[in-house]
Amino acid sequence: MWLEMSFDRYRKIIPDWKSFQDSIQGRDPTTIRVRTGRISSAQLMGRLGDQGFSVEAVEGIDSFIRVLEGPFNITDTIEHWLGLFYVQQVSTGIAALALRPKPGEKILDLCAAPGGKTTQIADLMEGTGCLVAVDRNEGRLQALMANIYRLVHSNVMVVSGDGLRLPETSLFDRVLVDAPCSAEGTLRRKSNRRIKESKKFRQSVPKRQEVLLRKAIALTRPGGVVVYSTCTFAPEENEGVIDAVLKDMPVYLEECGLQIPHSPGLTRFEGKTFDESLEKTCRIYPHHLDSGGFFVARLRHQEERGDRACLHKSSGWQDSAVQFPSEKKTGVEVKEVIATGIERMLRYVNGQVDLVSDFNWLLRGKDLWLHGCDQWPSDDWFESKNCRVLSVGLRAMAPVFRDEMRPTNDILRFLERCVSSIAYSPSKEEWDGLLNQESISVSVNDYGFIPLKWKNHVLGRGLIQKGNLKGEIPGVRRRWLKKVFTPGDS
């Protein structure tokens, strides 16, 4: 039996029903989130304005910009290719703001793909601490990692696995559960097409959501924070789920602390009553932010006292290793490889960064990874059959002919402020050739890899050999760059 979503059942709980009805008749405007730390909102708005886009800051929500109109799709800009922004609904940015992550913390994103909330949290952590991003869908995980690498975040550990089966040996300061849901709040993105779902699906979703939330609480240290969110209006998936865990889990609700238009959570619906504290949760309807629908709740894990509290805060975490746990090289071998990689990387950076003290280095196979996680979860996370660690930070150095280490395109973009002084700036004609996979003649005879620059941005890596320069930007990224790039602006 298939059911079509009807919003009439929400007429009594939505204060301004007419505004709600009017708002869902058309698509919501495109909004983007600025990659803070790499560019300011004002700078990005100026650059987009120079290209003919009409943009405005989203009031009350830092780092979000509304795109009112433009000469072409906002994703076809060089700024998007560079990872200077992420296309994201304003409403979905609320979860990370309610979580309020801090630099240096240990944070878990339990349903992370495709990465909008993960990369927003990473921004707020300012590249420090350890953010573990988990998802069980391998296809969506590829999108997650692509977004992490495009936005060059160095403190994210990506894990493939079912969030329900994660080891409970490592406790987190904060956990986000952006739970799979019936997605009623995404109606505007679907051009107002009603979503039909089976009765079985509508009945099973709240059960899985509740189990996920219980797991999140089990993975949170006493005194820590859990944020639960959905993009649906259904109380069964929102207040009903929170009400169930409040009955027997060591958590209580806090105010979300959001200075934006919203409605309080429900304490009763269709004959059912919920805990009075559910008024502290937030319901965001499409007309509130001219965006999608969203629900968010902020839960605090009850604090423990004395020695047990100190134990829980450090429980299950260890200093990050210099080689991936599955690797079997000796300590001497690992140190030699890392030292060689850093020595080669020093050819490209200036004194603005200390490659030894500012970052952590990890050997995996023949590749060197750079990351900002001073600590990571216990060995159970690396050895468990229920989850698999896919990446930690950014792949920094990879071997080529005779195992000579070369810097990756991602690491050159990540360190662009430190490598720009030695980068080569191709002319318009040279960029045309490089993007067509042609070698160009340059007045440099040395052999070696070199950063390629456009304006103040490093786009990737080139190789100079016998006076010829060849671009080494990977194929998919190169073709995308060719589509959006206008070398005449260089």
Give catalytic residues, as residue numbers. Answer: 231
As a whole number of angstroms, the distance between CA 42 and CA 435 comes to: 30
439 by DSSP, 3-state: which?
Answer: coil
Q: What values do phi and psi take at 47, rounded to 5?
A: -65, -40
Question: Residue 126, Cβ neighbours under 10 Å: how many?
Answer: 15
Q: List phi, psi (to 5°) of 144.
A: -60, -50
Please give the distance of CA 325 from its chain centroid, rounded to a whole number.
25
How far is the C-alpha of 347 from the C-alpha of 415, rounded, in Å? 13
| C-alpha angle 124-128-132 in degrees, rounded to nearest 5 | 80
Record the tokens describing residue 422, joined without a space: 């030695």
Enter the tokens of residue 482.
Answer: 């060719």
Burial-class residue 15 by CB neighbours within 10 Å (0-12, 13-18, 19+).
Answer: exposed
Q: Tell me, what amino acid is at 337?
A: V
Cβ neighbors of 20 (< 8 A, separation 6 or more) are 7, 14, 285, 286, 287
- Name residues whose C-beta falls within 8 Å of residue 21's C-beta, 6 or more positions apart in sequence: none
Q: Where are the alpha helices (DSSP H) in 35-93?
A: 41-50, 78-81
Placement of tokens 């913390």 in the chain: 105
Strands 220-230 and 172-178 turn out to be: parallel
Tell me how far apart the alpha carbons of residues 94 and 62 are, in angstroms, rounded to a whole number: 11
Rounded distance between C-alpha atoms, residue 346 and residue 258, angstroms: 44
Which residues fall within 8 angstroms of residue 441, CB to CB, at 6 or more apart?
A: 467, 468, 469
- Residues 474, 476: Cα–Cα separation, whole Å: 6
